A and B are shown apart, each in its own frame.
Chain A
Amino acid sequence: MAKKGKLEFRADRCKGCELCVTACPMHILKLDDVVVNRKGYHPISVIDADKCIGCASCAMMCPDGIINVYVEE
């Protein structure tokens, strides 16, 4: 059974570059269409959190270090 992952964003620091979007094997990341963060960017968000496998590929590609990744034990 696939691991269950959980993502934590520091969305106020997100610059909306979408490098994490390209990295995600489950295609569950997307810029938030509605929210604009204090830097003026649409920050990253998860569209289907249940599908996250905790692979940390998104965090690996995030230049600004805004993503922490956890898995259920």
Chain B
Amino acid sequence: MSTKKIFVAGFGGQGVLLIGQMLSYAAMYEGKEVTWMPSYGPEMRGGTANCTVCISDKPITSPLVTTCDVLVAMNGPSLDKFEDMLVPGGHLFVNASVINYKPKRTDVSVHYVDCTKIAEQDVGNAKTANMVMLGAIIRSSGVVELSIMDKVLAKTMTGKKEKLIPANKQALLAWNE
């Protein structure tokens, strides 16, 4: 497997960084090499947020990307700004809950994920919206195996968060193309 580059972008509070981290844990537990690199700056909430995940069988050179295989656009400005980064044939995930228009790109697979609505109506927990998106990314792009997510959730959601595991598992499976 050559290096898969995933770029997740949105605004702070949408779980952008967490989506990237969960993918990174998954890749690590699959025994792959992985890097996660966030944007960082003074805006802690409400500003733009993005992160890059690189997954590979070989040691990863640069954790920065200029092109990506998977782009996750959690809001309109992120879609407009970053859709040109996607390689032809790549996967573009659009958060349809806040983006109500189509991307320019026609040479990529576009997946519309209404994460907030699905989280509220199907999972019954609005906070799992980012997990709905994560499930969509994993199941459509295949950057990691869905089966590894049981281990990821068990390792990362401990203590008080443990009781949230069932809802998160449900969220990972909630979206359908």
A touches B in complex, CB < 8 A = no
